Chains A and B, each alone.
Chain A
């Protein structure tokens, strides 16, 4: 019985700590500065514009991607997850099809400063 109570107490404490950790982490993700990023727009001419620029059709904003995705508190904590899913997963899929799909694994292949906007 004593062991069960200890186990239940530890589980509750772990859940509470986990919740606090996730809350704190979400704030950190929203506030952290962006990593440098390079993007070759011309290399993506074969991709349908609205595959990335969803705002062209759903009226969710204007300007550069990061104008919303870094500043909008409803999505800025998800930026890494969303852009990795958009860019990296597409590159992975292209390479799986035997086509040249751009960087997939090494962070520095994308996260390096662009020469010009």
Chain B
């Protein structure tokens, strides 16, 4: 959640004006939340089958899919002209957003127990395809966000965001690998992570997104 907060702070940084109105910025913030979740999950795949982290990994994927869907449908609801961005003649950075959403849905759905057993012959095949789909998804999402340039208008913002999205989850992953992520309470760290409730996470992200939009609107006197 801290990572989401930092990502939104970078997107809100100087140079990110103007505001597109509360709902426009709120939906943009939801997109950043989905991007953060997608980037985070790449470093959160440590032997998920053998640990309770599987539940958290799956819950966060479903949350990312829900948020990404709300991001896209929300824009269509507040501004039907956005439909033009779904046509084949639309700019490729927007079409890559559509591709990323499709890949997110496909990757998430095909990893649920029943579809996974139907689609893959064994766990090795699932893991290979899941990783390949994830890398395509991550690439398409990153391209969509960075090329759209609605909030990221300076090279410093792009550099800071890339550092956060790559560095923070990588640092957490390395710390976990090295056994440095010692549990604060008596409960094992993996169990506490697994209890991270997706609905609470979703609500927190909605509140952060609303704060992002409110701050942006307040900072732009002429919007």
Residue numbers of A with Cβ under 8 A of B are: 24-25, 28-29, 32, 35, 80-81, 91-92, 94-96, 98-101, 104-108, 111
Contact = CB atoms under 8 A, between A and B. Distances in A.
B80 A108 contact: yes
A87 to B, nearest CB: 14
B222 A106 contact: no
B222 A99 contact: yes
Given A25-B89, A108-B79, A108-B81, 16 more contacts: A28-B88, A28-B89, A29-B89, A32-B89, A80-B91, A81-B91, A92-B153, A95-B17, A95-B222, A96-B17, A101-B222, A104-B20, A106-B21, A107-B81, A108-B80, A111-B81
Interface residues of B, number: 24
Contacts of A98: 221-222
A96 B220 CA distance: 8
Contacts of B150: 105
B81 A35 contact: yes
| Top-5 shortest CB links A-B | A105-B20, A107-B81, A95-B18, A28-B89, A100-B222
B173 interface: no
Contacts, number: 55
B24 interface: yes
Nearest to B88: A28
A95 B20 contact: no
Interface in B205-223: 220-223
What DSSP secondary structure best describes chain A's contact surface? helix
Nearest to B20: A105
A61 B87 CA distance: 31
A80 B93 CA distance: 14
Interface string B148-177: 001001000000000000000000000000
Interface in B86-111: 87-89, 91-92
B191 interface: no
Interface in B1-22: 15, 17-21
A101 B18 contact: yes
A95 B223 contact: yes
